[in-house]
Amino acid sequence: MSAEAHVQARSVLDSAREQLDRAATLINLPPGIHERFREPKRVLTVGIPTTMDDGSIRTFTGYRSQHNMDRGPAKGGIRYHPQVTIEEVIALSMWMTWKCALVDIPYGGGKGGVVCDPGTMSDRELENLTRRFVSELIGMIGPERDIPAPDVNTNERVMAWLMDTYSMQKGYPQPAVVTGKPVALGGSTERGPATGRGCVFTIREIMRRLDMAPDQSRFVVQGFGNAGRAAAHLLAELGPTLIAVSDSSGAIFNERGVDVQAILAHKAETGSVVGFPGADEISQEDIFGIDCEILIPAALEDAIHEDNAGEIKARIIAEAANGPTTPAAEEILNEGGVMVLPDILANAGGVAMSYFEWAQDVQKLIWTGDQINERLERVMVRAVNEVYEMHQRLDCSMRDAAMAVAVGRVAEAAQWRGITP
Ligand code: NAD
């Protein structure tokens, strides 16, 4: 791990703990429970020997963290990225605990990651890596224990390998061991856009409260992957105009508006937003200073930090990504009157939809896309209402309010269960 990656990873876990500490103060969390929530329940580190296409064997490092299981089995994605660290995986699993509690679905928090660069690996190598990783996790995961899902650089293809490897070892099909699988394997038709959809429900509800006119609002999306693309497409349908978007290759900007369908098609064809006709190229960093009403960070952690927070002109930041705003940046934003809709609320649509997928698999039920999207809307609107009420009652930021609701809910479960022995 490079020094830079280490510093960054430490800061992500520090950020997660700092957010918990603030919530603990707000709700008078008993010290014993607070201390327990600062640490994960269980973390596994595994070496993953993988046969490469040239016949050589490389050993990758993988992690799975289960932060808390007081309210149900652990739930959370698996990420493939060269900068994955154990601290990052723990922080992400902690956020999953709060997120599941906030939208009140019966899960705890988990997260996994493998240190690898999938862009340089063939499908066969990724399959070998995934199947071996799942074999190492076999005693830890399961429909009643810990249910993985896609995250950065993993997708339904990877989830299908996971489901198959687990099922082969159990001796019978176990679709409920994972969510975000292909529809043909019991996946949800609505899982793909669910994170973006939940993010847009959150933005819609807050715009109503802040009296913001959708058709006079402009928005910017940082990161144009699964979450960012769906959020862009669905938010534009409500009226706001997309004016800038970035991905790992670069960024584009047009103050008169970027046609969402056209940029989606360009990205699908070329693999990047760069080179999109009818827009100017800008740097990835410039995207944060653009004059707009809504900013959606949908890439990786720590994108908004103390050096760029002061440039942000948006009225609302909706965190589609996990942990995109550092605590120092958030202080600057709060002082400047920018409302940050925290990740555990703004991107909870993905895990809420995963819960519906899992519930269908466990009960062998089939619901229509409309049915589950209506349920998703109800779950998200209720959560936004609860957070907004807490924000007004405690006169605190939306993040502190969301954390207060979520941590309070997990603490109540923990107190009912008590400690064994
Ligand atoms: P993804 O891999 O599909 O997309 C990530 C995007 O970010 C890509 O377009 C990539 O090019 C871009 N990117 C990377 N570095 C960048 C940079 N420096 N500047 C601009 N863009 C950059 O991943 P995803 O599934 O969309 O996840 C994105 C974020 O959303 C992560 O933080 C993830 O944890 C979070 N999230 C995703 C889901 C989901 O359902 N996919 C659910 C909850 C949270």
* Per-residue pLDDT tens digits for 203-250: 999 999 999 999 999 999 999 998 999 999 999 999 999 999 999 999
Range name among 188-197, 257-266, 401-410 with the lowest pLDDT average: 188-197
- DSSP E strand stretches across 279-347: 280-282, 294-297, 316-318, 339-341
Query: Which atom of ligand 1 is the closest one to the Cα of 299?
Result: 7
Question: Which of 111, 170, 181, 364 is an active site residue?
Answer: 111
**Is any ligand 1 atom within 6 A of the Cβ of residue 350?**
yes
Confidence of residue 10 (pLDDT cuts 50, 70, 90): low
Buried b (16+ CB within 10 A) or exposed e, 305-318: beebbeebebbbbb
Helix, strand or coil, per DSSP, at residue 419: coil
Query: Which atom of ligand 1 is the closest one to the Cα of 303?
Result: 18
**Is any ligand 1 atom within 6 A of the Cβ of residue 159?**
no
Query: Percent of the chain scored above 70 by pLDDT?
Result: 98
Q: Rounded to whole angstroms, how far apart are CA atoms 232 and 227? A: 9
Average pLDDT over the chain reads: 95
* Per-residue pLDDT tens digits for 284-323: 999 999 999 999 999 988 899 999 999 999 999 999 998 8
Residue nearest to atom 3 of ligand 1 (CA): 225
Which of 214, 231, 224 has the alpha carbon at shortest distance from 263?
224
Distance 85 CA to ligand 1 centre (A): 17
- Range 126-131 average pLDDT: 98
Residue 12 has a pLDDT of 85
Which of 179, 274, 182, 181 has the alpha carbon at shortest distance from 224?
274
Query: Percent of the chain scored above 90 by pLDDT?
Result: 93
- Range 46-65 average pLDDT: 98
Query: Which atom of ligand 1 is the closest one to the Cα of 229?
Result: 26
* Per-residue pLDDT tens digits for 80-94: 999 999 999 999 999
Q: How long a stretch of residues is the chain?
A: 421
Which of 133, 131, 118 has the alpha carbon at shortest distance from 82?
118
- Range 259-268 average pLDDT: 97
**Is any ligand 1 atom within 6 A of the Cβ of residue 320?**
yes
Sign of the C-alpha dihedral computed for residues 144, 139, 421 and 34 taken in this order: negative
Torsion angles phi and psi, residue 114, rounded to 5: -125, 135
Residue nearest to atom 31 of ligand 1 (CA): 321
**Is any ligand 1 atom within 6 A of the Cβ of residue 347?**
yes
Residue 236: both structure tokens together? 């534009």
Residue nearest to atom 15 of ligand 1 (CA): 248
Residue nearest to atom 28 of ligand 1 (CA): 299
**Is any ligand 1 atom within 6 A of the Cβ of residue 226?**
yes
Confidence of residue 2 (pLDDT cuts 50, 70, 90): very low
Distance 243 CA to ligand 1 centre (A): 19
Confidence of residue 3 (pLDDT cuts 50, 70, 90): very low
Residue 327 has a pLDDT of 87
Q: Does residue 364 have an active-site annotation?
A: no
Q: Is the pTM of this model over 0.85?
A: yes
Question: What is the signed CA dihedral for 173, 176, 178, 183, rounded to 10 degrees?
Answer: 80
